[in-house]
Structure 1
Amino acid sequence: MKEKIIEALKRIEQEFEVKICFAVEAGSRAWGTSSPDSDYDVRFIYVHKTDWYLSIDQKRDVIELPINNQLDLNGWDLRKALQLFKKSNPSLMEWLHSSIVYFQAFSLDGKMRELEDQIFQPRASLFHYLNMAKGNYRNCLQTAAINSKRYLNVIRPILACMWIERHNRFPPNEVQPLIEALIMEGEVKRELLTLIERKVTRDDHGFEVDFPIIHDFIEKEIRHLEEYANSLRGPSRDFTATLNELFRQVLEEVWSQS
């Protein structure tokens, strides 16, 4: 599949006249919860030629292709990516933390990782994941179609919040290591690991989980995390100048080598 992904990325470069800086997996495969028929969620950052940016026109800054043969390709323009990086956008941060790298060229991803600890905004990321957990939990309670995927879509953002609270850094993508590192209580840990096993093996037939334990964990953590997130302050420094410089450096690097 990696060869097909590389071929698709090369076609994108030719069709849209861009250069791709890096491309990674950003879905369940990156989280360690994929099943055999899971899609490949490929995410990438690309760069247009310099003249494309020298315009007063508002231009489309994403490339999205229809899902084909389990392959979902979605990319963001460099300027959009750096604007979101400045805000600690969790989706973008997950791209930087992905352990599955399909393609890498130039120095962009490395330079972004060097800046991450300075730019990271715990409050923004906490509220993002907390709202995701709350919304997904409401969906769980309102649907009769209970399955492991729905519950993991609640548990994963809660674990992300717990990691941020404990370490004041952006969390790893993989769910199982987060459980091992953060959950001490035996019954809760056992039920969470069971959810992952069910999701990976697609063994949701006769779905069984100790719902009181799971629900109590979810509701307790959501209450605590809401209080913690509200106690945090927003960013105290503006990194616009730093990211403008990075933007110019990447443009020069990419097109001087082409």
Structure 2
Amino acid sequence: MNHKIFLRIQERLLNIEKEHEVKILYAVESGSRAWGFESTDSDYDVRFIYCHKKDWYLYILPKRDVIEYPIIDEYDYSGWDLQKALFLINKSNPVIFEWFRSPIVYYKEDFFFDKATEISKLYFSPISSIYHYLHMGKRNNREFLQGENVKIKKYFYVLRPVLACQWIEEKNEPPPMEFSTLLSLISDKELLNAVNTLLEKKKSGAELGLEPRVEIINNYIDEKITHIEKIIIGYDSRKKPDASFLNRNFVQILDHYNSYFYKI
């Protein structure tokens, strides 16, 4: 990534902290740039986790737990409050698990990151994650890849979740964000060459409009979706730690960063 862009994003994150009186704990790139199949004009999808000072949470009525901004000049900023982030870890939400595996990290508080990644290992649910990616892959396949001519770039929005399901099945762990790492699961050289050809076109900035569908890729997708639908029946839900475990970690993180608010 361009160093000036990286610094610009970090500076914007500092301004967000001041504007909302929060402490950003972790900030990453999400979306196509983190997946590794961005086009030259793709947005920068900056996602972050933040916390307020401890007293902010001692309130009866619920408060807004997200920070969002409209997209300006290809920069998209959105963040989740710590409490919301831990709640989503508790639900084994695949999106937040992806954030912890982003190859592009704009900012990281080590204490929080170490805590959060250790916690997430205890809450990862293979069946919840497979259902998430399977639903995504089936929906995109149904909407974009069924005609004789298809939007070629949409192949990546089907292949990524399908390969994520295969990763979970084979390795029993959250899938990586990088599409190139997921591609290591494909052993068929002809299929791999077909996918890589499309990948190079997309990354070069070539306009990928409607083109004849690539049968070898469509066949692979259909076979994998059918396979995943069969094997998911045998998955059991993983038992989670008691809720008090998550509460203790929430308080420990707040205590650790509470002093930050009295230094600014």
| Distance in 1, Cα, partners of 2:148 & 2:17 | 44
Instruction: Output aligned runs, 1:146-185, within 5 Å.
Output: 146-179=150-183, 181-185=184-188
Aligned to 2:67: 63
Aligned to 1:242: 245
Query: Helix, strand or coil for the counterpart of 1:188?
Result: helix
Counterpart of 2:106 (choices 102, 119, 122) is: 102
| Distance in 2, Cα, partners of 1:90 & 1:48 | 24
Structure-1-length-normalised TM-score: 0.93
5+ residue gaps, structure 1: none
Do structure 1's residue 227 and structure 2's residue 230 form an aligned pair?
yes
Q: Is the 8 A contact 2:46 2:75 kept in 1?
A: yes
Q: 1:153 to 1:50 in 2, by over 3 A?
A: same
Q: Is the 8 A contact 1:148 1:198 kept in 2?
A: no
Aligned to 1:186: 189
Structure-2-length-normalised TM-score: 0.91
Counterpart of 2:97 (choices 93, 101, 125) is: 93
Kindly provide the CA deviation profile for residues 89-135 of structure 1, in whole angstroms up to 9, marking residues without a partner as x: 11101110011111122511121212333221000000000000011
Q: 1:235 to 1:214 in 2, by over 3 A?
A: same
| Distance in 2, Cα, partners of 1:98 & 1:209 | 33
Aligned to 2:53: 49
Superposition CA RMSD, Å: 1.8
Counterpart of 1:18 (choices 13, 22, 27) is: 22
| Distance in 1, Cα, partners of 2:169 & 2:57 | 38
Kindly provide the CA deviation profile for residues 189-214 of structure 1, in whole angstroms up to 9, marking residues without a partner as x: 11111221121112245765662211
Kindly provide the CA deviation profile for residues 222-248 of structure 1, in whole angstroms up to 9, marking residues without a partner as x: 011111122211122334222111110
* Aligned-pair CA distance for 1:142: 5.9
| Distance in 2, Cα, partners of 1:102 & 1:81 | 18
Q: Is the 8 A contact 2:145 2:151 kept in 1?
A: no
Q: Is the 8 A contact 1:64 1:74 kept in 2?
A: yes
Q: Is the 8 A contact 1:25 1:43 kept in 2?
A: yes
| Distance in 2, Cα, partners of 1:143 & 1:202 | 24
Q: 1:219 to 1:10 in 2, by over 3 A?
A: same
Query: Helix, strand or coil for the counterpart of 1:97?
Result: coil
5+ residue gaps, structure 2: none
* Higher alpha-carbon deviation: 214-223 or 185-194: 185-194
Q: Is the 8 A contact 1:148 1:196 kept in 2?
A: no
| Distance in 1, Cα, partners of 2:14 & 2:52 | 14
Kindly provide the CA deviation profile for residues 156-196 of structure 1, in whole angstroms up to 9, marking residues without a partner as x: 000100000000001111111211x2111122111111221
Query: Helix, strand or coil for the counterpart of 1:5?
Result: helix
When the two structures are aligned, how many residues end up with a matched partner?
257
| Distance in 2, Cα, partners of 1:144 & 1:215 | 11
| Distance in 2, Cα, partners of 1:80 & 1:145 | 42
Q: Is the 8 A contact 2:46 2:78 kept in 1?
A: yes
Query: Helix, strand or coil for the counterpart of 1:146?
Result: strand
